[in-house]
Amino acid sequence: MALLFRAFYATAITGQFMINSRGVPTNAVQGFLKHMLTAIKHFQPSHVAVCWDMGSQTFRNEIYAEYKANRGEAPIEMMPQFDLAKEAVEAFDIPNIGLSGFEADDCIGTIAKAAMEHSHVYILTGDQDMLQLIEDQVSVVLLKKGYGNYEVHNPDSFYEWKGIVPRQMIDLKALMGDSADNYPGVKGIGEKTALKLLQQFESVEGILGNVHALSNSQRTKIEAAVEMLHLSRTLAEIKCDVPVSCSLEDASYGYNSDKVKALLDFHEFKTIQRII
């Protein structure tokens, strides 16, 4: 979903909605497919699956009503492209996975943890929240600006970058909060301070158990936000036990060229026709 929105805004900013002869905008879907196909060509995966958000309300809204409440409705030109994106993915015989009440992140985490028992998993995303899922058998590929520009992270590269281990990313977000997801964490604690605290005390629990060792300013801020700190940690953690699955057989990558051509021709995906 992050890649679909990224593709939409990359062209929508200049009014290039790529409206086909039936009046349907296709810029987001074509951009998403270009991201997906470029990554497949680059990484040569044996299996591929795509996860989607299934509506705006999830269990996180039930525990914190303001979660993502700062986000407005999707632009009208985006609305028909949600289903169209799933149709396009299906044409490539790639599973579309999503579950009402949970975010795509939770589905990704669940499938990645299951698949890493027998495969090396690469998660392609533009969202740094995914970094908490890094394991020896799970790499996170952050999509940088443009197409085909990737930053691949494993446990070693993540530690070199942040100075913490991937699971501590949850505590980092709990301390910092997340303006995009609309939860505050601890007001006045930014990334630099949060990283320093985690490097010293390892976790939220470690910090709370050593408040006497904090500076007066840090102690005051954290003690004033203990409840929100715990809540923010719950919101930040990706659930890896939701009731979704994806078998290797279903996700084996390969598609019927005629089926894909029919989709590209019908929806007039000219950008994809040129690269496939």
pLDDT digits (tens, 9 = 90+) for 162-184: 999 999 999 999 999 999 999 99
State the greatest distance between any 2 C-alpha atoms of the chain, in Å, as a whole number.
Answer: 67
pLDDT per residue as tens digits for the range 188-241: 999 999 999 999 999 999 999 999 999 999 999 999 999 999 999 999 999 999
| The pLDDT of residue 142 is above 90 | yes
Residue 122 pairs in a beta bridge with 139
3-class SS at 126?
coil
Please report, in angstroms and rounded to a whole number, the separation of the first and last CA atoms in the chain: 22
- pLDDT-derived band at 56 (thresholds 50, 70, 90) equals confident
Residue 138 pairs in a beta bridge with 121, 135
Rounded to the nearest integer, the mean pLDDT of the chain is 96
* Averaged pLDDT for residues 123-127: 95
* Averaged pLDDT for residues 156-167: 98
Distance CA 105, CA 215 (A): 35
Cβ neighbours, 10 Å, residue 202: 15
Distance CA 22, CA 31 (A): 19
pLDDT at 276: 85
pLDDT at 79: 96
Cβ neighbours, 10 Å, residue 267: 21
In total, the chain counts a number of residues equal to 276
pLDDT at 72: 87
3-class SS at 135?
strand
pLDDT at 163: 98
Q: Which of 204, 137, 143, 122 is nearest to 170 (CA)?
A: 204
Distance CA 249, CA 3 (A): 25
pLDDT per residue as tens digits for the range 69-86: 999 889 999 999 999 999
Q: Catalogue all structural domains in the chain, each as residue range(s) with its CATH number.
A: 2-163+239-275 (3.40.50.1010), 168-236 (1.10.150.20)
- pLDDT-derived band at 55 (thresholds 50, 70, 90) equals confident
Residue whose token pair is 């698949």: 115
| The pLDDT of residue 66 is above 90 | yes
Cβ neighbours, 10 Å, residue 91: 19
